[in-house]
Structure 1
Amino acid sequence: MAPPLDTRSPSGPAVSTLGRSVRQAGIEDIPAVARITQEGPLRTDLDPESAARSTRLLLTHIAFERGALWVEDGVDGRIARAVAVVPGGQHSPWETVGRVVAPDLARVPPGPDADQAFRTELAAVAPRWVLSEISQGSRARPGPPTLLEAALSWARAEPGWRHGPIAVVADTDAERKAAESLGFAERWTGGPPSPWWLGVDTDPVAPGQA
């Protein structure tokens, strides 16, 4: 788990690829990550300021304090994408995952049936960690899964990670393919209007234990 906010290092080691840099986020990166979730058309019944404030709080107190945030800095130096790593043992997994690591929830909310099906499957998996990308979902083609791979390595290196599997929630085809390329197998997929895909790590080998 992450140490208290005032003792945590700003970021983890960076990995550069194709002019982009992947690193563990610091507390100062939270506003930039939250802004990604506000890009694009939002539902008209949501107050943008309240939604942005809630997103920052959830990212800070769920993903950052209890898990991790990994980010990809674009060639312009701005954060282009992020992957949130959140603990899967929350009282309400859907509350945690859906509102923290699925920004498109505000734009394309799943129907009641898909909501319940997702809750059921996620609870059945009982994951130790849940990973999901925060992006605009604009990538038409899957790129190198460097960002997700970094977050996965972090989750596998955490003490007690063997207490449950690692799961990935994806809401685009590119995110799903990235997860599959890293060994995640499909556990559940939603039909329209739900875009969610749930994958489970099938090769849980911690670094140095292969």
Structure 2
Amino acid sequence: MTAELVVVSAGIATPSSSQLLGDRLADASRRFLAGAGVPVAVRHIQLRTLATDLAHQLTSQVPSAALSEAYAAVGRAVGVIVVTPVFNASYSGLFKQFFDLLDEGAVAGRPVLLAATGGTARHSLVIDTALLPLFHYLKAVVAPLGVFAATGDWGDVSGHLGARIDAASRAFADLVAQRPGTPVADEFELDAGFTDLLRRS
């Protein structure tokens, strides 16, 4: 089975800037991994198509077939790219709900590239102030460079956004290439006693 990168994007428009940023990050990451001899396929999960499923699972605690497959894809991935629009200085509720309902430990030890989109550059700190704490809590291996794209970046002919996408994707690809074809989370299994202690704390 071909190793997969999974892109989770929480944009609500069609298409959204979050989806477009996720596409570009995935394309660049796949290109760098191919150059390193690690071919990967890319799977895209657009959370706007799962909004009703997420609300139903929150109230019933039963995931739909589509959500179960999305969770399984994240669990199989050798790397995950996450992109959210900025709502009120943080990630969107749809984005948070997906990761709240994901099985505990699903991204533990897994390379994750953080990205966000917003109207202006004043929202760029969202990666450090909101996304980074969330994925540290989830025990992901966070790529050292994240990408924030403001509305003005998309029409910037200087190529600054493209350069930032390439730099972040190269660093992310380096993490993924360290364990080609094998989810890093396999090495992060906790013994039963420690897991029980965590649940009671």
Query: Structure 1 length as normaliser, TM-score?
Result: 0.28
| Structure of greater relative contact order (alpha carbons < 8 Å, 6+ residues apart) | 2
Structure with bigger helix share is: 2
Q: What is the TM-score with the length of structure 2 in the denominator? A: 0.29
